[in-house]
Structure 1
Amino acid sequence: MASFPIDVLVEIFLWLSAKSLVRFRCVCKSWNSLLTSPFFIKAYLERSIKLHKFDLLKYDFNNISRVQIHYSPKNELSDLNNSFVGDGEKFKLVGSCNGIVCLSTFDCKNPHRSKIFLWNPSTGENRALPQPNFCVSNLIGFGFDPSSGHLDDFKVVNVNIHFEKHSNYTSQVEVYDFRRNCWKQVGNIFPPLLTKHLRHQSFCSIFPSSHLGHQVIFKNFICWCPIFCVDDEIVTLLILFDVVQDDFRKMAFPDIMPPTEKHISLLDGCLSLIAYNSSTDHYEVWLMKEFGVCELWTKLYTIGSIVNCWPVGFAISGEVFFLEKLYKGLRYHSPIQCVLYNVGSEEFEKFGVEVDSLYSTQLVPCIESLISLSSANNVEH
């Protein structure tokens, strides 16, 4: 194969898994040069968006955090080695972009022990970030700046909430730049209404339900959909962090959408929501047809016959992951089970995964990638 024309060799390599390509770097110098070149890394990433997609299912079981790859549509699971986080250390998946995943740990008793990692699950490479200027909080976001021209221009946002005299609440927001390998303080920019609300919540469970919720990366925005109460009224809205401008934005939902809790996700490359309708006791799936326009949310379909289920997100195949809590008498029966909703057949099926908690279970879409974490200047546009 070493004598093949370079264009033929590239085409063959683009169909292979990242794990195989990492091994092939050792074959000869010319292969190593090709497979580590910015040209091939970019081409492989573009091909992966079509061919090499998978979901990361993170959950806690028996008080241990686990991550597995979920392959659609066979609904098979494959274990991943995340021992670099630390034995017995609980963590959450903050998010994934360009095949790189951000993980964070949170120790409320000793915040200085909390850590943030970047990880390429396709190659196994990982990197612990330098400690931020303030403590690693439970409010972490992970995104990517597409305007810079670099495929590895990753950003991590760390939000600390502080209570001051006279009931004042302030935030300390800082942003990590992967290419510069440093943190930058950007000030008290977290939305004041949320700052006050989140300060009243308990931050001392490992990942409480009162945090911003699971995030979605869409274009240059990190998106959350938190739920909170204002004057005894439930309020939900989109919170966006622009990684280009290093600033937060808020976006309201249209009145036609159910006012109760919503779970943010991605579906067909668009922002989507799984919204609970308390009047019908059903979940509704909504899609934002045009980003940034509040009125252009469209209801795609309704999921009926839901009993004691909590949405996790959409699999790449379009199936919806739910967690099912079973009653035993008047109490919930543990453990909690994962079920899949098939949109085509409108049926649920057991998935064979048991979890400890609703809020520590995450489904994060990912793609295979050859982006390296050892150097911050290895991928040019």
Structure 2
Amino acid sequence: MSDVIPLPLELLIDVLTRLPIKTLVCCACVCKSWHNLVTSPRFITTHLNRSSLANNSNLLLVRSCSNDDKEENYSLLSCENEKFCEYAEFELPIERYENPYLRIIGTCNGLVCLSDDSVCYMFDIYLWNPSIQKMVALPPVRLTFESYGDLVHSMGFGFDSLTNDYKVIRIVYFEGPFGCQSPPEVDIFSLSTGIWRNISHLGLQYTIYPRAPQAFLNGAAHWPAYDWRRRGNLIVSFHMGDEVFGEMMVPDSLVHHNWLQGVRVAKFQEWLALIHIKRTDDNNTCCIWVMKEYGIPESWTKLFSIDMSGGLFTNVAGFTRKGEVLFGTKDAYLVAYDPEVEQVKHLHVRGSTDSWYRDSFYADAFTESLVLIREKEPPVLHG
């Protein structure tokens, strides 16, 4: 008779969901029953929810490009006692491309959505979980330069909590004599089905700025856009669950501003935010606007302005959960600036001084997860 007393399932789940990712990956190899448990949707969700409330809240995903060989470097930094230290380092599991670096569309629940369109359009898109080193290559997109000629696109990535699914949306405009005023073609990819769907019938009436960085929050992706009818800027949203587009007005001072020159959307803590970098001959200023009440234009508030005229800061790479602004510097270092106390912290991350890599810094709050652990191994990825 065995002396081993099996744990009740609820207790086993409670114990295992407290373990770090690397340990859980090993646990999945212990036996078939543990593998089925650790890779089950219920366990993955429970672990993710617990991770979001535990030490993962201090993690920061950072991407930089080295100055010598121009390789992409990905790492997790942990902020302990007001200091940043390396928590983990990752190797991108694909070969180099013609583009200088992959563009990060967004991060969500431990997943990173990558596209190789940082400079030219090669149209390969990936979902990557660096914590478990699992990557999935998305099927080929429907609209390409080879098949449709000149085009520009914007992309979004996020989570559909209604169906526990991850989705990528691609919005394509065909360039012509009148720019991008015509309704775009819109396709959406669902991880649960593994296919792209054409949802162009939604009839988006606005022009999203090409390759504009997105901000995912409240279940929706957000982009800066232009309304040709009213001749002004606005924010377009796309809800991943309902699969509908929406619109939001921006602060009056930014309605007619040239957004191609230093304005983009972002997520600042739990708020939708606008980053506005004003550059003049004698003064550079970074203004952070936040929408205090989501969906209420009257709640736009200029949270703070940061003087960049000293030349130290060059571009905004992201934010920490605490509210620090992450800047790239003229010497290609990543620093965290606390606007409340006007203090700069060095993250000891060095990037590239090459002009091609000027905007390659990326930083965002990150939560480790097991998402993608159930997915089949991706096909052989080529360079």
> What TM-score bracket applies, with the shorter chain setting the length?
0.7 to 0.9
Give the letter for the 2:158 counterpart.
G
Question: Is the contact between residue 72 and residue 317 of structure 1 (CA under 8 Å) also seen in structure 2?
Answer: no
Contact 2:173 2:180 in 1 (8 A): no
CA contact (8 A) 1:156 1:177 kept: yes
SS in 2 for 1:317: coil
RMSD (Å) for aligned C-alpha atoms: 3.4
Question: What is the distance in 2 between the residues matched to 1:194 and 1:83?
Answer: 34
Whole-Å separation in 1 of the counterparts to 2:203 and 2:79: 37
Residue 190 (structure 2) pairs with residue 181 (structure 1) = no
**Cα displacement (A) at 1:188:** 7.1
Pick from 134, 137, 156 the counterpart of residue 141 of structure 1: 156
Post-superposition shift, 1:189?
5.8
* Counterpart in the other structure of 1:69: 76
Deviation per residue, 1:232-251 (Å, 9 max, x gap)? xx965323222234343332
Residues 1:186 and 1:5: Cα distance change in structure 2 (over 3 Å)? closer
Q: Of 117, 127, 134, which aligns to 1:125?
A: 134
**Conserved 8 A contact 1:190-1:248:** no
Inter-partner Cα distance in structure 2 for 1:175 and 1:59: 29
Match of 1:155 among 167, 181, 184: 167
Q: Aligned-pair distance for 1:16?
A: 1.8
Q: Compute the displacement of 1:323 (Å).
A: 1.5
The residue matched to 1:307 in structure 2 has which SS? coil
Q: Distance in 1 between matches of 2:252 and 2:180?
A: 31
Q: Could you list the runs of 5+ residues in structure 2 that have no partner in the other structure?
A: 146-151, 377-383
Do the aligned partners of residues 305 and 185 (structure 1) sit closer, same or farther apart at CA in structure 2, a change above 3 Å counting?
Answer: closer
Q: What pairs with 1:289-328 in structure 2 (closer than 5 Å)?
A: 289-304=292-307, 307-308=310-311, 309=313, 310-325=315-330
Residue identity opposite 2:221 in structure 1: I
Deviates more, 1:75-84 or 1:272-281: 272-281
**Distance in 2 (alpha carbons) for counterparts of 1:277 and 1:116:** 32
Aligned residue pairs total: 345
Cα distance in 2 for residues equivalent to 1:108 and 1:278:
23
Find the aligned partners of 2:97 and 2:211 in 1 and give their Cα distance. Answer: 27
Moved more, 212-221 or 246-255: 246-255
Superposed displacement of residue 23, structure 1: 0.7
Cα deviation per residue 1:185-217 (whole Å; 9 max; x = unaligned)? 12276755536xx6xxxxxxxxxxxx3432211
In structure 1, the residue corresponding to 2:207 is in which secondary structure? helix
Percent pairwise identity = 26
- Per the normalisation by structure 2, the TM-score is 0.77
In the alignment, is the contact (CA less than 8 A) between 1:214 and 1:362 conserved in 2?
no
Could you tell me whether the CA contact under 8 Å between 1:212 and 1:225 is conserved in 2?
no
Counterpart in the other structure of 2:221: 222
Other structure's SS at 1:83 match? coil
Output the TM-score relative to the length of structure 1: 0.77
Structure 1 stretches of 4+ with a deviation exceeding 6 A read: 165-168
Which residue matches 2:342?
A: 346
